[in-house]
């Protein structure tokens, strides 16, 4: 019986060795000239509907790595993502901006990274199409005026499509003129305005209109988060923003700068950055 058990153990040990290999073979380097390991993924899968890639295609480009930023918290200013273009940082640099009418250096007052509205609108020197935009702003702590005369400014996308800036905390005014509204077109889905004097955030994802000749192929689309809450979700603009009017699209609306409006009310801005967006698989 003991002899049988001993032989059985030898057979089991031999089988395990054949399956797993010896300890030395576990750590062995690949043989010289061996083919490199295959990329993870599958090519024996259906093509996706656009005909570009297999489902789980191993050759599809991996997305670039971006270090995320940090959120602002009260007076502490957050950091932008690593691939963002900083339009307004913590210093005194206003070189990314110019006056909207006639160009030239910006004369709005700037102190410790906070830009105060001044005479005439300003815009970026660089133009954009599709992007993610982060803007922080605050209306004065002391309430002056009412309705549209209370902390009024605006963020203009491509210089033509406005997201309204307004002190809308306990402020009754027309719906499509409230804070984070697509001015003159759509009111925000909800009013999430903070009290006067508190810093507020806009996170905007914008897709520029497309044209074929003079014809609009697709309108401008925007998604807006006001203080982290969705106020527009992939909503199309009727056309460029205007007061009391609905002007039509024109091919020149396909790109443009980011602009900040002077409406004669004091409004503060800080920590503005933008990330131009590319298509999937684009280098």
In the predicted structure, residue 118 carries a pLDDT above the cut 50: yes
Determine the pLDDT at residue 27.
Answer: 46
Bridge partners of 163, per DSSP, are: 155, 182
pLDDT band at 3 (very low <50, low <70, confident <90, very high): very low
Strands (E), 129-199: 131-138, 153-157, 161-165
In the predicted structure, residue 190 carries a pLDDT above the cut 90: yes
pLDDT band at 145 (very low <50, low <70, confident <90, very high): confident
pLDDT band at 33 (very low <50, low <70, confident <90, very high): low
In the predicted structure, residue 42 carries a pLDDT above the cut 50: yes
Q: What is the mean pLDDT of the chain?
A: 89
Burial 204-223 (b: 16+ CB within 10 A, else e): bbbbbbebeeeebeebbbbb
In the predicted structure, residue 10 carries a pLDDT above the cut 90: no
Q: Which two tokens stand for residue 54?
A: 């297999």
pLDDT band at 32 (very low <50, low <70, confident <90, very high): low
pTM: 0.85
Determine the pLDDT at residue 235.
Answer: 98
Determine the pLDDT at residue 102.
Answer: 85
CB atoms closer than 10 angstroms to residue 66: 11
The answer to whether 121 touches 261, Cβ cutoff 8 Å, is: yes
How far apart (Å, rounded) are the C-alpha atoms in residues 18 and 23?
12
Q: What is the pLDDT of residues 173-186, one digit of tens each?
A: 999 999 999 999 99
Determine the pLDDT at residue 76.
Answer: 87
**DSSP element (H, E) containing 269:** strand 268-276
HSE of 255, CA atoms in CB hemisphere, 13 A: 6
More confident residue, 210 or 144: 210
Determine the pLDDT at residue 22.
Answer: 46
More confident residue, 217 or 2: 217
């Amino acid at each position: 019986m003991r002899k049988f058990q001993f032989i059985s153990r030898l057979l089991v040990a031999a089988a395990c060795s054949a399956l797993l290999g010896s300890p030395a073979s576990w750590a062995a380097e690949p043989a010289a000239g061996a083919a490199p390991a295959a990329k993870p993924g599958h090519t024996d899968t259906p093509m996706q509907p656009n005909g570009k890639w297999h489902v789980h295609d191993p050759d599809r480009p991996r997305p670039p790595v971006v270090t995320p930023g940090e959120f602002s918290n009260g007076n502490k200013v957050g950091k932008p993502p690593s691939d963002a273009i900083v339009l307004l940082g913590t210093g005194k640099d206003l070189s990314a901006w110019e006056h909207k009418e006639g160009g030239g250096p910006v004369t709005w007052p700037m102190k410790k990274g906070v830009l105060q509205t001044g005479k005439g609108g300003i815009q970026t020197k660089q133009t954009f199409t599709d992007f993610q935009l982060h803007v922080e702003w605050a209306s004065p702590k002391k309430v002056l005026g009412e309705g549209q005369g209370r902390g009024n400014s605006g963020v203009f996308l491509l210089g033509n499509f406005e997201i309204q800036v307004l002190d809308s905390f306990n402020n009754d005014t027309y719906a499509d003129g409230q804070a984070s509204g697509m001015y003159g077109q759509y009111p925000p889905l909800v009013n999430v305005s903070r009290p006067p004097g508190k810093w507020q955030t806009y996170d905007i994802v914008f897709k520029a209109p497309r044209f074929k000749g003079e014809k609009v192929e697709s309108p401008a689309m925007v998604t807006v988060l006001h203080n982290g809450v969705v106020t527009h979700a992939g909503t199309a603009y009727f056309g460029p923003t205007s007061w009391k009017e609905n002007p039509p699209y024109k091919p020149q609306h396909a790109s443009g700068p980011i602009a900040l409006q002077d409406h004669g009310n004091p409004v503060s801005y800080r920590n503005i950055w933008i990330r131009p967006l590319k298509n999937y698989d684009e280098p």
